[in-house]
Structure 1
Amino acid sequence: MNKLFLAAIKEETIGLDYFNYTGVGKINATYNTLRLIYLHKPEIIINYGTAGADNTKIKGIIECTKFYQRDMDVRGLDFELGETPFDKIKEIITSKDGYSCGTGDSFVNKKIDMEVDVVDMEAYAIAKVCKLENIQFRCFKYISDNADENADNDWGKNLAKGATAFASLISTQF
Structure 2
Amino acid sequence: MLLAPLPETSFTGRLRGEIRPDRPLLVVAAEAEAARFDDTFPLLITGMGKVRAAMELTLALSSARPREVVNVGTAGALKDSPNAVVEVARVIQHDLPDDVLHQLSGAYYGSPLTVRPGPGLTLATGDSFIADSRTRTLLAERADLVDMEGYAVASVAQRFGLPVRIVKYVSDQADESAATAWPDAAATASGVLADWIGRHLA
Query: Shared topology, TM-score over 0.5?
Result: yes
**Distance between the aligned counterparts of 2:130 and 2:61, measured in 1?**
29
Where does structure 2 lack aligned partners over 5 or more consecutive residues?
A: 1-21
- 2:30 pairs with one of 3, 6, 9: 9
The answer as to whether partners of 2:113 and 2:154 remain within 8 angstroms in 1 is yes
Alignment of 1:24-39 (within 5 A): 24-39=48-63
- Residue 162 of structure 2 is matched in structure 1 by 135
The answer as to whether partners of 1:63 and 1:140 remain within 8 angstroms in 2 is yes
- Residue 67 of structure 1 is matched in structure 2 by 91
Alignment of 1:1-174 (within 5 A): 1-18=22-39, 19-73=43-97, 77=100, 86-87=107-108, 90-95=111-116, 96-110=118-132, 111-112=134-135, 113-114=138-139, 115-174=142-201
Q: TM-score with structure 2 length normalisation? A: 0.77
The answer as to whether partners of 1:62 and 1:98 remain within 8 angstroms in 2 is no
**Radius of gyration: which is bigger?**
2
**Distance between the aligned counterparts of 1:137 and 1:59, measured in 2?**
23
**SS of the counterpart of 1:141?**
strand
Taking a change above 3 Å as real, the CA distance of residues 85 and 23 of structure 1, as seen in their structure-2 partners, is farther
Deviating beyond 6 angstroms after TM superposition, the runs of 4 or more aligned structure 1 residues are none
**Identity among equivalent pairs (%):** 28
RMSD of equivalent CA atoms = 2.1
Q: Measure how far apart 1:74 and its partner are.
A: 5.5
- Residue 18 of structure 2 is matched in structure 1 by none
How many pairs are equivalent? 170
Taking a change above 3 Å as real, the CA distance of residues 74 and 38 of structure 1, as seen in their structure-2 partners, is closer
Where does structure 1 lack aligned partners over 5 or more consecutive residues?
A: none
**Distance between the aligned counterparts of 1:57 and 1:23, measured in 2?**
26
Instruction: Report the AA paired with residue 120 of structure 2.
Output: G
**SS of the counterpart of 1:102?**
strand
**Distance between the aligned counterparts of 1:78 and 1:24, measured in 2?**
25
